[in-house]
Structure 1
């Protein structure tokens, strides 16, 4: 039987920098290609074709001491990650999938993945996308805030239109801001002033200089 091959950009170990898993040591499998081209994307190199690797080759490059693995991209759901996820589960890994939310995972994949970290794109990305989260399959929703007042207005409308629990929403500043702490504070002030139930979190790797 021919073993499944994946197009991989890189495999590394670091601290999880975003979302509800922030601060947790994790292996990262960055899969190649993306169906979007966000203007502020900080991993444009993931748009490339990548290197073909088998599941065994991928597993061999993981840090065996770390039992959390994040499958990211690019957009990882462009590839069939179910066989890879099954193998990771078989060796006792907790699995996080970071996705832009434009591709719905299968029911079978949903049963295996522990956390779907979903980042719907606002208009600040250069895209105007239609999403359908009627079945609320995301573990949480992360939004990149570039223009605080305008973008948070857009998040509020998005959350209302999709009937999303606001406590599942995370706001994070544009990682390209040189005044990153100020960017966080701007978001915090708007959330407090408006009495919103969203969480505000930094990208930890921006602060500590990790990958």
Structure 2
């Protein structure tokens, strides 16, 4: 099996429920969206072709969590790669925009589906169907706190999502990142919402 890969590196997981976890990162190439605030536009490129053996040779075997990200990783068949990662004892996180539903086979293999549905602030107006609630948690990028959080509330209600599975995070391109984080926190507190507010750890620490 050949995959189109942008980069492979090791760092600390920067966001979501797995924040702070040491992880290998396999960034797969291409994306079916072009979000205006995307901070990894280089992942839209075609990437380099790599076999599973080549990919595994590049990851840190001491680190037992591997994150498959993108771009949009579910554009490629992850089952063979995921099986090999499981064979060597890895916990697997898949970061996806939620527009492509994973197969039942893949759902049985992956430990964490970190799903980031796109709000209208992304430049897209998308229709999602999470009635089968396959995400481990849902991350939303907040650019305009009041407007965007209104949209999240409507989304959560229409999809019948447990609010405790919802994470809000600031736009990573904000220069005043801590202020952006506080703006979101204030709206959540003022409205008595049950959403979690988390930073992108790598933005604060200045790491990958």
- TM-score bin (small chain): over 0.9
Aligned alpha-carbon RMSD (Å):
0.3
CA offset digits 1:25-53 (Å, max 9, x no partner): 00000000000000000000000000000
SS at match of 1:69: strand
TM-score (norm 1): 0.98
Structure 2 residue 98 is the aligned partner of structure 1 residue 98: no
In structure 2, distance between residues paired with 1:166 and 1:64: 36
**Any stretches of 5+ residues in structure 2 without a counterpart?**
none
Is the counterpart of residue 48 in structure 1 residue 45 in structure 2? yes
Q: 2:6 aligns with which of 9, 32, 36?
A: 9
The residue that corresponds to 1:75 in the other structure is 72
Look up the match of 2:104: 107
Which residue of 1 is the match for residue 157 of structure 2? 160
- Does residue 139 of structure 1 match 2:136? yes
Q: TM-score, normalised by structure 2?
A: 1.00
Q: CA shift at 1:206, angstroms?
A: 0.2
Supply the distance in 2 between the matched residues of 1:182 and 1:50 (Cα, whole angstroms). Answer: 35
What is the count of residue pairs matched by the alignment? 208
Alignment match, 1:151: 148
Matched, 1:169 2:130: no
